[in-house]
Chain A
Amino acid sequence: MSITPDKLRYCESHEWAYVADPSTGIATVGISAFAVEELTDLVFMALPKVGQKLTAGSEFGEVESVKAVSPMYSPVSGTVVEVHSALVDKLESLGVDPYNEGWIIKVQMSDPTELDKLLDWDAYQKQCNH
């Protein structure tokens, strides 16, 4: 089943988190369509390694576009359990489907209640339209 943006939780810095099955405590993380549009043409992406510990708000990777390097911030705390390494060679898929083909990492959350502090779709849209 495909993920739709209204089902996600968002950081103000435009990363999203999605928990398909709460019993696993695993959040899939990516960047929003708005962020991809702001970034324009993507050139390079650096990703973390499996096993890397993250805290909510910490940098987990970097992306370069139009000679500008931008960080990506983790929406949740936990441990990286899966990395979408193939994405680095097909960054264009982020522009086509940032919420499914464009997922970036999966994180085993250490504190799932952090999700409640993230923006829901309505609040995130309001931020983007500000």
Chain B
Amino acid sequence: MQSLACETNLSESATGLVVLDPPRSGAINMAIDESLLANAQPNWPVILRIYQWEEPTLSLGHFQKIEDRDNLESLRTLPWVRRKTGGGAIVHDHELTYSILFPNRTGISNAGRSEPTKGHSEALYRAIHLQFAAALKSLGWDAKLSESCTCKVGPNADKEPFLCFSRRSPVDLVVGDAKILGSAQRRSATGLLQHGSFMLRRSAAATHLAGLLDVPADPELGDHGFDGNFDWQTFFIATLKDGVDKLLQVQWRDGKLCELPGALDEKAVVPRA
């Protein structure tokens, strides 16, 4: 793993840091997010981390059982890792992944009220997903919130589909029948962490799940700015920033995790399963 140490410290003026992380293993990726949440300080900026995977990887929701993967033969050979956030399993293959951390301080993720310590922030799910809906429409895809639910509660909770992209919750983003953006969260005394996955193309490990580029764009929509060489990562980062800005005015700048003193306990950033 590359060193997490660097010589610069965070500028006071930045209220949002965009971190473009190099490809790492699933275990390291999850350990970094876990360490960030555990060590978050009230004076930290919002941290938007865009990350990549060294190889196609399966990430499980926090409470999922790895045995349930075995119902899908194609998933058995993938390396896997458990997320600290909830929801269903994700095949990180032809997709883009982010985590966003809101350190706890009044107003940062809860419209000016004291920070809650329980439950989800629907405002955050909704703001980001609606921003993607608008941005994708301008490219020719009729993206919208699913407004449907496969939710199961109580004793039936484990009867939900194993894979996140087979599930539907009302604020998931869909294009036609395909879910293309899903998110999950974790609260703690120190902050709110949201994970999200934007699926571009179907994976050989889950061929029944179409990605955005498997669904033809509608030439009747938008300004047709899309072409085959489109920079999806730039689109992804810009849309995430715009979505967060709908909730909170953030002064974004590019940065590195090592700028956050105490953010990453190197001993804690060890592979997790």
Q: Which of B94-102, B182-190, B249-257, B259-267 contacts A (4 or more CB under 8 A)?
A: B182-190
Does residue B154 face the partner (Cβ distance < 8 Å to A)? yes
B84 proximity list for chain A (CB < 8 A) = 69
* Complex CA–CA separation, A62 to B82 (angstroms): 15
Indicate whether A89 sits within 8 Å of B155 (C-beta atoms), given known contacts A65-B120, A66-B119, A68-B85: yes
Q: Which residue of A lies closest to B116 (CB)?
A: A38
Known: A41-B151, A71-B188, A90-B154. A64 touches B118 (CB 8 A): no
Q: Which residues of A contact B153 (CB under 8 A)?
A: 41-43, 91-92
Q: Is the CB of B119 within 8 A of A68?
A: yes
From A73, which residue of chain B is reached at the shortest CB distance?
B189
Q: Do the beta carbons of A68 and B189 come within 8 Å of each other?
A: no
CB–CB A67/B154 < 8 A: no
Establish whether residues A13 and B118, one from each chain, have CB atoms under 8 Å apart when the complex forms.
Answer: yes
| Residue B15 CB within 8 A of the other chain | no
Question: Taking the nearest CB of chain B, how far is it from the CB of A5, in angstroms?
Answer: 16
> B residues within 8 A CB of A90?
154-155
- Counting chain A residues whose Cβ lies within 8 A of the other chain, the interface size class is 20 to 34
Q: From DSSP, what is the main secondary structure of chain B's interface residues?
A: loop
Bound-complex Cα distance A34 to B234 (A): 41
- The residue on A at minimum CB distance from B120 is A68
Say yes or no for A52: interface residue by CB 8 A criterion: no
Let me know if B119 and A39 touch, CB within 8 A.
yes
Bound: A90/B155 CA distance, A: 7
Which residue on B lies nearest to A12, using beta carbons? B117
Cross-chain contact A35 with B114 (CB below 8 angstroms): no
Q: Are B188 and A62 in contact, CB atoms less than 8 angstroms apart?
A: no
- In the complex the two chains form, what is the Cα distance from A42 to B87 in whole Å? 12
In the bound assembly, the distance between CA atoms of A40 and B185 in angstroms comes to 14
Pair A66/B120 contact, Cβ less than 8 Å: yes
B161 CB within 8 Å of chain A: no
Chain B, interface residues (CB within 8 Å), range: 20 to 34
Q: Is A70 a contact of B118 with CB atoms below 8 Å?
A: yes
What's the nearest-Cβ distance from chain B to residue A8, in Å?
Answer: 16
Q: Please, which residues of chain A bring their CB within 8 A of the CB of B86? A: 43-44, 64-69
Q: Which of A2-42 contact B (CB under 8 A)?
A: 12-14, 31, 35, 38-42
Q: Which residue of B lies closest to A93 (CB)?
A: B154
Task: Give the chain B neighbours of A50 by CB distance below 8 A.
Answer: none
Nearest CB on A from B100, distance (A): 13
Give the residues in chain A near B185, CB-CB below 8 Å.
67-69
Q: Given known contacts A67-B169, A89-B155, is B118 in contact with A43 (CB within 8 Å)?
A: no
| B117 contact from A13, A44, A64, Cβ within 8 A | A13
Cα distance, A130 to B112, chains bound together (Å): 11
The reply to whether the CB of A46 lies closer than 8 angstroms to some CB of chain B is yes
Known: A67-B169, A69-B86, A91-B154. A38 touches B183 (CB 8 A): no
- Bound-state CA distance A13–B114 (Å) is 11
User: Is the Cβ of B87 less than 8 Å from the Cβ of A70?
Assistant: no
Q: How far is the CB of A31 from chain B (nearest CB, A)?
A: 7
Q: Which 6 A-B pairs have the closest CB atoms?
A: A68-B120, A67-B87, A44-B63, A68-B185, A38-B119, A67-B184
Other A-B pairs beyond A68-B86, A69-B84, A69-B187, 19, CB < 8 Å: A14-B117, A14-B118, A38-B118, A39-B119, A42-B154, A43-B86, A43-B153, A46-B63, A64-B62, A66-B119, A67-B61, A67-B120, A69-B185, A71-B117, A71-B189, A73-B117, A90-B155, A92-B153, A92-B154
Q: Which residues of B contact A (CB under 8 A)?
A: 61-63, 84-87, 113-114, 116-122, 151-155, 157, 169, 183-189
